[in-house]
Amino acid sequence: MADLSTSYMGLKLRNPVIVSSSDLTRTVSGIKKCEDAGAGAVVLKSIFEEQFLIDGDIPKSDYSIHPEALDYMRSGSLLEYAPHNLIQLIEVAKQSVDIPIIASINCQTPSLWPRFARQIQDAGADGLELNVSFHPISLAIPGAEYEDRHLEILRSVKREVSIPISVKLKSQITSVSHLGQQLAESGCDAIVLFNWFLEPDIDVETLKTRSHIGKANFFHSLRWVGLLSGRVECDVASSGGIKISEDVVKQILAGASGVQVCTLFYQKGLGEIQNLLKGLQDWMDRHEYERVDDFKGELSFRHQELMFKDLGEASAYFRAQYLKAYSKK
Ligand SMILES: Cc1cc2nc3c(=O)[nH]c(=O)nc-3n(C[C@H](O)[C@H](O)[C@H](O)COP(=O)(O)O)c2cc1C
């Protein structure tokens, strides 16, 4: 029977299916359920910058926030997941489960990233995912400046901790390849492609704006996993749109070292982990692959390019227009 164990950002995983950062992983019992259901690892719910305010961790001069918002955070459910509680969560979860626990933070204020990363490492987390997201809303700041911030954050965190660090990117990065290369050169252990966000909407009756959960684009993730893996000196993980075991196979063939899954488990429950794993195992047995590494990246752009296997096929990763697809017939 095929061996599903693998390595992701230097961590040993019993299989490549990772429960991605979400409310599924914000409590010890949630993490335990993920382990019992068969997950290879979990990424904890992100701590967001606003939540540091609950702990009074940001000097007022450092941050401007509406006072009412602060009151709301101090009184509401965010308190349950304030930074001091995350540290406790990691400590208790480490006693309760054997699978790797990857913490996740999203900060805006430069000093908080490294400071909190150190506390997370001291609590025993096996790794840390930096959930970096800036919406480029400024009319004055060019794209390169936003992209450089990823590197500054990564470097400042790497200086403070020795646990493996991944960076989870948003999908609207101008040059994923260039940023990926620079992240890898700056010591990033894995790049996660991609985060998915709330999208804006407008209620035309109440004339108010509102948010709704966006829909991940599996193929967008597949494109960039395929284009980056093997070309940058770090692991690449997929995040977004995994629904069936074939999707897991595709992402690993494209070069993913881990596949992060969230919405599927919300919709159909953590029992889906076994379906993903069984399908992966069956596929490997059918294709006579003994280990995940035996086919990881087999259909990455880099591998196909090197093998001169079929550059026509490899071009699927970068061809954006319909010319070929339609002219063939
Ligand atoms: C309810 C919910 C909460 C989430 N919270 C976080 C979070 O705290 N940090 C983060 O990096 N991603 C968060 N995500 C994004 C997921 O980790 C994942 O990247 C995204 O949903 C795409 O994967 P999927 O198609 O498998 O859901 C959240 C997603 C959902 C649906």
Say whether pLDDT at 75 is over 50: no
Residue of the CA atom closest to atom 1 of ligand 1: 22
For residue 77, the model assigns a pLDDT of: 47
Please state the rounded mean pLDDT for residues 32-48.
96
Ligand 1 pocket check: which of 198, 221, 262 to mutate, most ligand atoms within 8 Å of Cβ? 262
Encoding tokens for residue 228?
């980056």
Q: State the pLDDT confidence band at 81, using cuts at 50, 70 and 90.
A: low
| Superfamily (CATH) of domain 6-298 | Aldolase class I (3.20.20.70)
Closest Cα to residue 236, out of 255, 221, 219, 218? 255
Check if the beta carbon of residue 43 is closer than 8 Å to that of residue 109. Answer: no
Say whether pLDDT at 59 is over 90: no
For residue 311, the model assigns a pLDDT of: 59
Instruction: Please give the distance, rounded to the nearest whole angstrom, from the Cα atom of residue 304 to the centre of ligand 1.
Output: 31
Say whether pLDDT at 60 is over 90: no
Q: Rounded to whole angstroms, how far apart are CA atoms 197 and 99?
A: 27
Span of 14-23, 50-59, 72-81 with lowest mean pLDDT? 72-81
Please state the rounded mean pLDDT for residues 215-233.
95
Say whether pLDDT at 208 is over 70: yes
For residue 262, the model assigns a pLDDT of: 95
Say whether pLDDT at 37 is over 70: yes
Encoding tokens for residue 251?
């992402």
Check if the beta carbon of residue 239 is closer than 8 Å to that of residue 216. Answer: yes
**Ligand 1 within 6 A of CB of 26:** no
User: pTM of the full predicted structure?
Assistant: 0.89
| Domain layout of the chain by residue ranges | 6-298
Say whether pLDDT at 322 is over 70: no
Return the percentage of the chain with pLDDT > 90, whole number.
67
For residue 270, the model assigns a pLDDT of: 98
Ligand 1 pocket check: which of 19, 193, 196, 217 to mutate, most ligand atoms within 8 Å of Cβ? 196
Say whether pLDDT at 274 is over 50: yes
